[in-house]
Amino acid sequence: MFDFMKRGVDADPIDSEIVPGMYKRKRIRVFTSLFIGYIGYYIVRSAFKISVPYLIENYHFTKSDTGLIMGVLAVSYGISKLFMGLLSDKCNPRFYISAGLLFSTLVNAFFGFTQNIVVMVILMIPMGIFQGMGAPAAQKSLKFWWSKRDRGFYYSTWSTSHNFGAAGAVAASFLAFILFQKTTFLMSSIFVLPSIFSLVLAVIVFCLGQDRPTTFGLPAVDVYSNDPELVNDKEDDNKLSSQQILVRYVLKNKLLIFLAFANACIYAARYGILDWIPTYLWEEKNFSKEEAILFFSLFEMFAIPGTVIMGILSDKLFKGLRAPLPFVASLSLVVPIFVYQTSTNHFIIAVALIVLANCVYIPQMMVGLIAVEVTPNCAGGAASGVTGICGYILGEVIASFFVGRIAEHFGWQASFIVITVASLLAAFFFFLIAVLEVRARRQRGT
C-alpha cells in the first residue's frame, strides 16, 4: 500500500467549544464526497448494461455473450470487495475512494474501442478490482462520522447514490445518442461519456473527502453523540492482521454468515431484473431501445424515496432493528415480479418496476448497514467485503450469466422462476437475522 493512502494517526483533542461546528462542517464534506463518489462508481459500472441492446444489434452479441461479460465483472468485483474491503480498514477513504474511481473510469473508456468479446472479458477483471474500492470504504466512513441513532437515515440516503449513478449512466447514453447517432463514434461514446463524467466526480471526491474524526482531534462519534456502538474495538485489535480480523469478527459471526447468504439471494433478484431490463423490454415487450433504457432509469430513480423512508423507519420506529423491513420487502417481491412478467401495458409495467425497485433496494441497503453495525470499527471493511463477495459471486453471477442463458434456452418465464425463488430465500435469511437481532438486544437489556 502507498504511504499516502494509509489512514492518519489520531491528533490531540481540540477545544470542546469548537467540536460541534467542526463536526458539522466535516460531515457535510464527508457525505458529499461519499455520495457523489459512489454516483461516479455506478455510472461507469452501469455503462455496459445499458450498451447491451446496441451490442446485440450492432455487433451481433448474444445474451450469453453479454451475460458472460457481466458475470466476469460480478466475480472480479465480488472478490475485490473482500480484499479491498480488508485493505480499506487500513486506508484513508479520501484517497482510497478517489483512486478506485479514477482507475474505473480509465478502464471503462477502453470498452468503447473494442468489438472483441475476449477483450471485453479481460477488461472486466480490472474494472471489478477498482470498483471494489468504493463501497466498503464508503460504508466504513459513514460509521465513523454518524452514530447508530442517526445512521439509518444517512446510510439509506447515501445508498440512493446507486440510483442516481444508474440514472446518470442513462443520461450519458442518451447524450451520446443525441450527439453521435449518425456517426461511427456512437458505440464508443456510450462508454467514453460516462467515463468523462465520473472522472470529474473523482476529482471532487479527492478535494472533499476526509479521514476519521479522531485524525482531526475530534472525539469518536459514539462519544460525541453519547450513543454507544453495538460492538466496540478491543485493546489488542490494532495489533491484529487483516486475516486475523477477518476470522475473529467476520467468519465466526453467525449473523454475518446469514447476512452474506441473504445478500447473495437479494443480489440474484436485483440483477436478474436490473441487468436485463433493457434487453427484456426490447425483445419481449416491443419497447424501442430508447424506451427500454428509459425504463431502466425508472427502476433506479423511483427506489430513492422508499429507500430513504425505510432507513428513517429503522431508526425511529424499529429503534435500530434493521432486519424486519428487508424481510417484508423480500417476501413482497413475488407480486411485482409476476406483474412485470405477465403485463403488456406500459403503465402497469412501469408501476411494477417501481414497486420492484423499492422491494429490492431496501434489503440491499440494509445488508451493508447491518454488516458495519454488528462488527467493530476495525472490521467494518472486512464485513462489507464478505457480504459483498457472496452478493456478487453467488448472486450477480446467477443473474448476469445464468439468467441470460436460461432466458436464451428456456425462455424468460424460466428466468423469472429463478428470480422468485431467490427472493423467497432472501426473506428466509432475513427472518433468521431478525431473530438474532432481537435475541442480541434482549441479552444487552436494551
What distances in angstroms separate CA 374 from CA 267, 369, 382, one per listed residue?
Answer: 21, 9, 12
Q: For residue 95, which of 140, 42, 147, 134 has the smallest C-alpha distance?
A: 134
How high is the pLDDT of residue 438? 81
Query: Could you give the CA distance from residue 345 to residue 306 in angstroms, rounded to a whole number?
Result: 24
How high is the pLDDT of residue 35? 96
Instruction: For residue 112, give every residue at least 6 positions away whose Cβ sits within 8 Å of its Cβ, in sequence order, or none.
Output: 187, 188, 189, 190, 191, 192
Q: Tally Cβ neighbours within 10 Å of residue 24.
A: 9
How high is the pLDDT of residue 193? 93
Tens-place pLDDT, residues 63-119? 788 888 888 888 888 888 888 888 887 889 999 999 999 999 999 999 989 989 999
How high is the pLDDT of residue 128? 93
CATH topology of domain 16-208+242-444: Growth Hormone; Chain: A; (1.20.1250)
pTM for the model: 0.80
Query: Could you give the CA distance from residue 308 to residue 362 in angstroms, rounded to a whole number?
Result: 9
How high is the pLDDT of residue 238? 64
How high is the pLDDT of residue 36? 96
Cell of 321: 432493528
How high is the pLDDT of residue 232? 65
Residue recorded with cell 427472518: 431
Q: At what angle do helices 324-332 and 304-316 cross, to 10 degrees?
A: 140
How high is the pLDDT of residue 186? 79
Q: Tally Cβ neighbours within 10 Å of residue 432.
A: 18
Q: What is the pLDDT along the chain (446 residues), one digit of tens a residue?
A: 566 677 888 899 999 899 999 999 999 999 999 999 999 999 999 888 888 888 888 888 887 888 888 888 888 888 888 888 888 878 899 999 999 999 999 999 999 899 899 999 999 999 999 999 998 899 889 989 998 888 889 988 998 998 899 888 888 888 888 888 878 787 889 899 999 999 999 999 999 999 999 999 999 998 898 877 766 666 565 666 777 777 777 778 888 889 989 988 988 888 788 777 877 888 888 888 778 877 877 777 788 888 888 888 888 888 777 888 999 999 999 999 999 888 888 889 888 888 988 888 888 888 888 888 888 777 777 777 788 778 777 777 676 667 767 877 887 888 888 889 989 999 999 999 988 888 877 776 55
Query: Could you give the CA distance from residue 21 to residue 297 in angstroms, rounded to a whole number?
Result: 38
Rg of the chain in Å (alpha carbons): 21
Instruction: For residue 102, give every residue at least 6 positions away whose Cβ sits within 8 Å of its Cβ, in sequence order, or none.
Output: 199, 202
